[in-house]
Chain A
Amino acid sequence: MGQHLLLNDNTLWVFVTCSQEARHLDDVVFGIHVLRGRGVSDDRILVFSDHSKVGPHLDPYAIGSFPLSSLAAKLVAVPPHRYAVVVVGGHGHVAGLGPTPSPPSQPILPAHQLFSAIRAIPELVLGIVVLSQCFGGVFNYADALAHPQLVVIGATNLNPSLSMTISIREPIRQVDGSEGLRSWLANIFTAALFSWLRSPTDIDGDGQHTLMDAYKHAGATSNEMLRNAKSGLFVQARTFEKALAETEEELANVTPASDPTGLTGQLLTLRLGAQKQQLAEVLQNLYLHQEPWVLHANLAREACFA
């Protein structure tokens, strides 16, 4: 058995997300759904988000949250925990966690600041940080051996992270019992990681369910999903490109005389923006690759999940 056994009563789970997009909060909903299924109690789960309207997204699942800006102040004041698993998502910036471009009103959260906040959790022995955002590699090469020690896992290195639409067979129920989340553009590494946590498997054959197994499963599974989608994405890119060109032509033909209210132009602009977004997503998944990484691999082999 590994040196560190992560149990429901000794582990704090922390979700950190930096994004205004619902899909990144959906990643959190899915992760917490898996943790609840494993018997993790809500008082051992914390969510930090900078989303400007987080309530309508998380309240239906009885998930509370704190502003991202309060991360350090909250973590230093939580009850003592031997272990913490911090799952970071949303948008990554070349200087840390944050959107690109970053508005002046929003400071970037750099690696040192994040790691310092995690290390301040009272009586922490080991912190596990999973980074799923773009440019996660800027958090690599930290001093993971300082105490408390950290294992840091990145979904990808110094390049964008990737997402795909995931549908789950059974929708996640809301607190009122109605059907909720069932399909979203999921961060594929995080989704695969929680898929492993839902039903851990021994990837390397050492007889244990370790963090290293989770890392290998999430990295290989997410890249296999990408590879399987490539040929279809190539065809889809051509279809999207054609539709986008048609909308551009339509918009170019709109004049004040033909559109006195301006609403037709607005509708075409809205459609064009959506088509550009769809094409960009397809091209990213078609041409980019994810290279997961782990810092402090020896410790990742010692961290076991019950």
Chain B
Amino acid sequence: MKVINSESLVALPREVKALIRNGVYTLYTLGAAGGAAYLLVTNRGEFYLLSSDGRPQDASSIKSVTDVDLDQVVSFSDSGPPSEFQVNWA
């Protein structure tokens, strides 16, 4: 698992970051994918190649996670804004 600060993805909408943080969307680092740094997978099975600052790139060639060389799952070191969903457990 690769832990980064979500603020490094300056171009990525905060709503997307919130869903990554919750495990609804998944962000992977890439081994090699023509310059893209990350692959974003939504819960609707959509794929977005992202640059290192979170900007979408053309991902039309990707139909499955097996089409790219996935490396690690990305999680964020910062907790993000509080949510009404939030329950804090000991």
Query: Interface residues, chain A, CB within 8 Å of chain B?
Result: 20-26, 52-53, 56-57, 60, 164-169, 174, 178-181, 183-185, 188, 191, 195, 225, 229, 232-233, 235-236, 243, 263, 266-267, 270-271, 273-275, 277-278, 281-282, 285
Contact = CB atoms under 8 A, between A and B. Distances in A.
Contact of A166 (B40, B45, B65, B87): B87
A174 B19 CA distance: 22
Interface string B1-38: 10100000001010110110111111010000000000
Q: Chain A contact residues: over half helix, strand or loop, or mixed? A: helix
A233 B56 contact: no
Nearest to A188: B87
Given A26-B23, A174-B1, 10 more contacts: A22-B26, A57-B73, A165-B83, A165-B86, A166-B89, A169-B88, A185-B24, A229-B84, A232-B84, A278-B18
Interface extent on B, as a size class? 35 or more
Contact of B19 (A20, A229, A278): A278
B71 to A, nearest CB: 7
A178 B3 contact: yes
B89 A271 contact: no
A21 B15 CA distance: 17
A282 B11 CA distance: 25
A180 B1 contact: yes
B75 to A, nearest CB: 8
Contacts of A56: 1, 28, 70-73
Interface string B59-80: 0000011100011110100010
A39 to B, nearest CB: 20
Given A26-B23, A167-B88, A183-B21, A274 B65 contact: no
Nearest to A91: B43
A274 B79 contact: no
Nearest to A225: B87
Given A22-B73, A52-B64, A274 B87 contact: no
A188 B87 CA distance: 10
A126 to B, nearest CB: 30
Contacts of A278: 15, 18-19
